[in-house]
């Protein structure tokens, strides 16, 4: 079940006794837990009928005891089990989950983990609970998700701003929403987020960033690439090597896929390699500039210089110098 479906059912007051929320993406788990905490019970009911338990401090019996109490001055009792991944005997909740009290709604936040799908608990959850697995979004899923977030606030975002935003922040969904909320009040009467807004309110340079460096490499523009590397060297926090290397590896890996992906159109190719439609020209352009062997060499260079940045076979060369040396080899060799 998707997070949207769970939230829609809760809003329609189509309640179930047990909600098990697990997985690697905290954002969606928090979204459901926060709704359950704030919106199911009225303020007056919550004082009597809402209980929050933390897995670090609880055992299975205390959770079940709280669930077995009947609501006072209301129809429902809400029990929120947070940090459930730290509860040692959580498997013992199985018996309660099999026969839960209908008037209690138990929400379990089991972050960063998944129950063993072969075990009895997993089978019980799938049969008797709302069982939600929260997964990290893939790179090609982020643009649509960001557009939904801006759209829900009555805003739009330009393609350039979106690329700049995602390439800098990645799939940190909590930070993305926080930054959108920070930008929104500064737009005044405007409703569109531009690259200038990202630069002014998020603190990302629209000229000197990983996205622009990637574009310079794609076009074999050595002058622009070195200019960006100089900026990074003078502003170490703007783009540390630990962010640059994975971003460039992802870029070149997708370019490499183009050589072996038989697609009938750019739209189909974008879907096959996992990038937004409007970014595919960056990748096809790079594929025309580099042959397959060059792309493979660049990926090996990334691995080599990543090791050097960690001190392997290197006597202390600065990050800035390593980056410039790598860029020259990628573009010129």
Structure tokens at 215: 């574009």
What mean pLDDT is reported for the chain?
A: 91
Q: Compute the average pLDDT of residues 95-105.
A: 95
pLDDT reading at 277 higher than 90: no
pLDDT reading at 333 higher than 70: no
Strands (E) in the chain, as ranges, are 18-23, 50-54, 77-82, 104-111, 130-134, 156-157, 192-193
pLDDT reading at 226 higher than 80: yes
Q: Compute the average pLDDT of residues 9-31.
A: 96
Q: Compute the average pLDDT of residues 241-265.
A: 90
Which residues touch 328 (CB under 8 Å, ≥6 apart)?
Answer: 222, 226
pLDDT reading at 315 higher than 80: no
pLDDT tens-place string over residues 33-71: 999 999 999 999 999 999 999 999 889 999 999 999 999
pLDDT at 237: 82
pLDDT reading at 131 higher than 90: yes
pLDDT at 169: 84
pLDDT at 203: 82
Which residues touch 237 (CB under 8 Å, ≥6 apart)?
Answer: none
CB 228 within 8 A of CB 213: yes
Place of tokens 């050589």: 259
Q: Compute the average pLDDT of residues 25-39.
A: 95
């Amino acid at each position: 079940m998707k997070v949207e479906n769970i939230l829609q059912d809760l809003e329609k007051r189509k309640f179930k006794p047990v909600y098990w929320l697990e997985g690697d993406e905290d954002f969606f788990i928090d979204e459901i837990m926060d709704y359950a905490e704030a919106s199911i019970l009225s303020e007056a009911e919550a004082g009597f009928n809402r209980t929050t338990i933390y897995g670090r401090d609880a055992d299975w019996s205390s959770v079940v005891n709280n669930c077995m109490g009947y609501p006072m001055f209301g129809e429902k009792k809400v029990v929120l089990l947070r940090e459930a991944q730290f509860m040692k005997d959580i498997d013992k909740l199985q018996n309660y989950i099999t026969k839960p009290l209908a008037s209690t709604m138990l929400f379990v936040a089991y972050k960063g983990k998944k129950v063993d799908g072969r075990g009895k608990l997993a089978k019980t959850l799938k049969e008797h609970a709302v069982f939600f697995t929260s997964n990290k979004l893939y790179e090609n899923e982020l643009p649509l998700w960001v557009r939904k977030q801006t759209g829900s606030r009555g805003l739009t975002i330009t393609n350039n701003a979106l690329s700049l935003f995602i390439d800098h922040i990645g799939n940190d969904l909590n930070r993305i929403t926080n930054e959108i909320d920070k930008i929104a009040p500064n737009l005044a009467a405007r409703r569109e987020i531009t690259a200038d807004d990202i630069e002014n309110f998020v603190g990302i340079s629209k000229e000197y960033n990983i996205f622009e460096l990637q574009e310079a490499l794609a076009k074999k523009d050595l002058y622009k690439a070195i200019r960006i590397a100089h900026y990074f060297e003078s502003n170490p926090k703007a783009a540390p090597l630990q962010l640059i290397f994975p971003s460039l590896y992802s870029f070149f890996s997708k370019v490499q896929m183009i050589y072996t992906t038989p697609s009938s159109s750019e739209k189909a190719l974008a879907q096959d390699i996992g990038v937004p439609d409007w970014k595919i020209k960056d990748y096809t352009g790079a594929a025309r500039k580099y042959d397959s062997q060059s792309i493979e060499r660049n990926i090996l260079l990334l691995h080599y210089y990543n090791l050097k940045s960690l001190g392997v076979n290197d006597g202390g060369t600065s990050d800035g110098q390593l980056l410039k040396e790598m860029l020259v080899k990628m573009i010129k060799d």
